[in-house]
Chain A
């Protein structure tokens, strides 16, 4: 083997040396999650690397809502999905319109609005929880899922606006002028030129907001209290209330809870491609 091959093998080995520990570090909790989910109650805490009698019994219990902690499993799953998807869509609408106005229509004061919105990130979201609770109370939205939807949109929007504004700035401005000359109104420009070209960023931001809402615990816990309104994440939290919690069911539900975001991410990942504007202008 030549010197070059050795050098390449050396570089590869170095990468593996870093990569393997990181991989194990990341996968270990997920492995435990799965281990619990496929073990029977007695075996779960046994400390084995793999159950001697793997079982799907836990999944059956969860899907059939056969435990009092899981009485509303399907409803709560739906709540999570509804809230996350709505937050994703609402954030997209708000952020896209804002980014278009700031970056393309160059609305006066737009940048200041964006910076003000970003300013909210200087305060940890946890500190804003109480004022947010109070605000929702004023509007009579407590125990209403829209309270959580609005709160999460508020949290997701500044970052989304900022990212979309950066992405918009990269679209050649000549396209807007060409569309204007071709007779497009601002709305047509938005719909027929801007949105199609922003698709990758929109998918990324939509997914971001959706996952943010899906994984949210604090706000969901604060703003919703009725068992039939809460998200699955909050319901999972209630497992911890008792001393003899059914850990294997908690882990099974957790595993199931992790699947939709993974599915959503991998479904939309293929839209997050660059190079959509290739050929628009000579660079």
Chain B
């Protein structure tokens, strides 16, 4: 177990700066997920930690030791690659033992470690097989086994699940999380999938265009996104975002969006006319009668029942919104309905800067 610290990390490829001064710390035993759209620099950051990419400026420290100029193999870290990168000419057992073999480890210890790892990952029956004889999920486990055998200070995962089919991905997600709970090794996990990030992470670093948008626990990011980017990136389906301006009338603050629809605001000191982006999570919208007091008049466009929950596409004024409910509402496309929202559940951002305006 170890801590990892990034200080003012920058990375340029030629003239292009892909990481623009990033600093954060990872605690001992923490499962830290780096998430962001492709091209945000998350993989580059991980590769710099792995020692596969040079650091243009700044320092990376593992357990307090600056490792900028330390070779990968001497950083005491292990990495699981997106493509697995198994040695095709070696059996599963040889793949897992390879790093120990390179260190001239005692054959007895080597066998013990491999046995230990294969037991954790249920790979015992496959030790003598070659990677080409394994399924995608099994190969993924071998790649993890290769990392576990090392007993490293830090595990690095580079989008390890993106090559698996949806069902297997969910299963492996749980497996990796269980593995972390068992081994308690500090883990840095890169993904572009916010669901993976939300379900696995102790803390998430949301990255965008080479800088950090927000760091926090999954539910913190969900409940209190610092800015528009995080608000729209975290959560599935994504947050409904309406552009409008603040209106004060009769002592109550509201947001007026194009089409004249008024959405309730929590008590705030925002000036009249302030251009804001008004965000509502699909799960925070409530169905009501069309003439209910305070309800926004709307019309159902599409009904998508998935069994456990129902997703509704709704037209309100000029905007289309998504509503998710766990019930099975008796509505049909074309029905006139009303929408209500608890004002404290609304997320309000400055339209120009994208920063959060109202904290709740």
Please list the residues of chain A having a beta carbon within 8 angstroms of any beta carbon in chain B.
172, 174-175, 177-184, 188, 192-193, 196-197, 275-282
Proximity bits, B43-56, A CB within 8 Å = 1, else 0: 00000001110000
Please list the residues of chain B having a beta carbon within 8 angstroms of any beta carbon in chain A.
50-52, 72-73, 77-79, 81-89, 98-99, 102-103, 130-134, 136, 139, 146, 150, 163
Query: A193–B84 Cα gap in the complex (Å)?
Result: 15
Q: Are B79 and A276 in contact (CB under 8 A)?
A: no
Q: Are A181 and B72 in contact (CB under 8 A)?
A: yes
Q: Are A279 and B131 in contact (CB under 8 A)?
A: yes
Query: A276–B139 Cα gap in the complex (Å)?
Result: 16
Q: Are B134 and A181 in contact (CB under 8 A)?
A: no
Given A180-B72, A181-B50, A182-B98, A281 contacting B83 (CB threshold 8 A): yes
Which one, A172, A181, A279, contacts B130 given CB within 8 A?
A279
How many pairs, one residue from A and one from B, have CB atoms within 8 Å of each other in the complex? 85
Closest to B158 in A: A174
Q: Are B88 and A278 in contact (CB under 8 A)?
A: yes
Q: Are B88 and A277 in contact (CB under 8 A)?
A: yes
User: Which residues on the A side are within 8 Å of B86 (C-beta)?
Assistant: 178, 279-281
Query: A181–B143 Cα gap in the complex (Å)?
Result: 12
- 13 contacts across the A-B interface (CB closer than 8 A): A178-B86, A181-B73, A181-B77, A182-B146, A184-B73, A193-B87, A276-B88, A279-B133, A280-B83, A280-B87, A281-B81, A281-B86, A282-B136
Q: Are B136 and A197 in contact (CB under 8 A)?
A: no
Q: Are A282 and B84 in contact (CB under 8 A)?
A: yes
User: Which residues on the A side are within 8 Å of B146 (C-beta)?
Assistant: 178, 182
User: Which residues on the A side are within 8 Å of B84 (C-beta)?
Assistant: 280-282
Which one, A183, A276, A281, contacts B85 given CB within 8 A?
A281
Query: A196–B91 Cα gap in the complex (Å)?
Result: 13
Q: Are A196 and B89 in contact (CB under 8 A)?
A: yes
Which one, B77, B85, B133, contacts A280 given CB within 8 A?
B85
The 8 lowest CB-CB distance pairs between A and B, nearest first, are: A279-B132, A279-B131, A281-B83, A183-B73, A174-B85, A182-B99, A178-B85, A278-B132
Which one, A178, A183, A278, contacts B81 given CB within 8 A?
A178
Closest to B130 in A: A279
User: Which residues on the B side are within 8 Å of A281 (C-beta)?
Assistant: 81, 83-86
User: Which residues on the B side are within 8 Å of A182 (C-beta)?
Assistant: 73, 98-99, 102, 146, 150
User: Which residues on the A side are within 8 Å of B102 (C-beta)?
Assistant: 182-184, 188
Query: A193–B85 Cα gap in the complex (Å)?
Result: 12
Query: A172–B73 Cα gap in the complex (Å)?
Result: 20
Least Cβ–Cβ distance between B297 and chain A, in angstroms? 50
Extra inter-chain contacts (4) besides given A175-B87, A177-B50, A181-B78, CB under 8 Å: A174-B83, A181-B72, A196-B89, A280-B131
Which one, A172, A174, A178, A276, contacts B89 given CB within 8 A?
A276
Given A174-B83, A278-B88, A180 contacting B52 (CB threshold 8 A): yes
Query: A175–B86 Cα gap in the complex (Å)?
Result: 7
Query: A172–B88 Cα gap in the complex (Å)?
Result: 11
Closest to B81 in A: A174
Query: A192–B98 Cα gap in the complex (Å)?
Result: 10
User: Which residues on the A side are within 8 Å of B83 (C-beta)?
Assistant: 172, 174, 280-282
Query: A282–B168 Cα gap in the complex (Å)?
Result: 15
Given A177-B52, A180-B72, A182-B98, A279 contacting B88 (CB threshold 8 A): yes
Least Cβ–Cβ distance between B338 and chain A, in angstroms? 49
User: Which residues on the A side are within 8 Å of B51 (C-beta)?
Assistant: 180-181
User: Which residues on the B side are within 8 Å of A183 (C-beta)?
Assistant: 73, 99, 102-103
Least Cβ–Cβ distance between B98 and chain A, in angstroms? 5
Given A193-B87, A279-B130, A177 contacting B81 (CB threshold 8 A): yes
Query: A172–B131 Cα gap in the complex (Å)?
Result: 14
User: Which residues on the B side are within 8 Å of A175 (C-beta)?
Assistant: 85, 87
Query: A180–B71 Cα gap in the complex (Å)?
Result: 9
Query: A178–B130 Cα gap in the complex (Å)?
Result: 17
Q: Are B89 and A197 in contact (CB under 8 A)?
A: yes
Closest to B133 in A: A279
User: Which residues on the B side are within 8 Å of A178 (C-beta)?
Assistant: 79, 81, 85-87, 146
Least Cβ–Cβ distance between A104 and chain B, in angstroms? 14
Least Cβ–Cβ distance between A62 and chain B, in angstroms? 44
Least Cβ–Cβ distance between B39 and chain A, in angstroms? 19
Least Cβ–Cβ distance between B44 and chain A, in angstroms? 14
Query: A197–B136 Cα gap in the complex (Å)?
Result: 21
Query: A90–B132 Cα gap in the complex (Å)?
Result: 33
Closest to A281 in B: B83
Q: Are A197 and B88 in contact (CB under 8 A)?
A: yes
User: Which residues on the B side are within 8 Å of A181 (C-beta)?
Assistant: 50-52, 72-73, 77-79, 99
Closest to A283 in B: B83
Query: A214–B309 Cα gap in the complex (Å)?
Result: 76
Of listed B72, B78, B130, residue having the most chain A CB within 10 A: B72
Query: A192–B79 Cα gap in the complex (Å)?
Result: 19
User: Which residues on the A side are within 8 Å of B130 (C-beta)?
Assistant: 279
Least Cβ–Cβ distance between B126 and chain A, in angstroms? 12
User: Which residues on the A side are within 8 Å of B133 (C-beta)?
Assistant: 279
User: Which residues on the B side are within 8 Å of A279 (C-beta)?
Assistant: 86, 88, 130-134, 139
User: Which residues on the A side are within 8 Å of B136 (C-beta)?
Assistant: 282
User: Which residues on the B side are within 8 Å of A192 (C-beta)?
Assistant: 98
Query: A179–B101 Cα gap in the complex (Å)?
Result: 12
Least Cβ–Cβ distance between B191 and chain A, in angstroms? 16
User: Which residues on the B side are within 8 Å of A280 (C-beta)?
Assistant: 83-88, 131
User: Which residues on the A side are within 8 Å of B77 (C-beta)?
Assistant: 181
